[in-house]
Amino acid sequence: MRRGLKPTGRIAVTGPESTGKSWLSAALARHYNTLHVPEYAREYIGSLSRDYRRDDLYRIASGQLRREKDLLSGASAFLFCDTELIVIKIWSLHKYGECHPWILEQIEKQPCDLYLLCDVDLPWEEDPQREHPQLRSYFFRWFRRELEDYGFSYCIVSGRGEERLRNAIRCTDEFFKNP
């Protein structure tokens, strides 16, 4: 890091399916006049002419990290990441009963500074890439447990629309306030 430059805080917007992660990460980036990393899995899975498989999750994870790395230098004080590798870990364990060791290693090696865990208080929105509307509360508890087990800093973000955004801004500002 060059002298006098403030490091960019990486903030993950994470949680179960259909909890507003994509909208929230883009809205936060606009609020803070910075960049956000779209969810690479959406693009990757959308380009497949088949159902995704276990080995695709490794490719998705490496693509997500590559995108984060590419955008980090252009971000201002924060880089908001629409999803992160704990999502891939949970999905892999749920669907296949195992997770690629590289993904597990990267979670510990490259944690985000703050995780905004999206609550399941939004209505489910149908999407061809979403799979388990009935398991959102189950997955929410799993995400919370993972964040706590890793010892990562997180804040639960709830509310609809602008209220959700205000709550996420409050969490971010409180976490990154100057001592």
pLDDT at 179 over 60: no
Residue 161 burial class via C-beta count within 10 angstroms: exposed 0-12, middle 13-18, buried 19 and up: exposed
Of 9-18, 41-50, 77-86, 156-165, least confident by mean pLDDT is 41-50
Residue 90 lies inside a defined structural domain of this protein = yes
Residue 2 lies inside a defined structural domain of this protein = no
Residue 62 lies inside a defined structural domain of this protein = yes
Residue 1 lies inside a defined structural domain of this protein = no
Overall average pLDDT of the 143-162 stretch = 97
Element (H, E) at 90: helix 85-96
What confidence score (pLDDT) does residue 58 get?
A: 96
Residue 53 lies inside a defined structural domain of this protein = yes
CATH number of the domain that 164 lies in? 3.40.50.300
What confidence score (pLDDT) does residue 2 get?
A: 30
pLDDT at 139 over 50: yes
Average pLDDT, rounded, for the chain: 90
Question: Residue 49: which residues within 8 A CB-CB, separation 6 or more?
Answer: none
Residue 3 lies inside a defined structural domain of this protein = no
- Number of structural domains the chain divides into: 1
What are 65's two structure tokens?
Answer: 């990290």
Is residue 121 within 8 Å of 160, Cβ to Cβ? yes
Residue 72 lies inside a defined structural domain of this protein = yes
- Give 114's DSSP letter: E
Residue 93 lies inside a defined structural domain of this protein = yes
Read off the pLDDT of residues 28-58 as tens digits, 9 standing for 90 and up: 999 999 999 999 998 998 888 888 899 999 9
Range of the domain at 56: 9-176
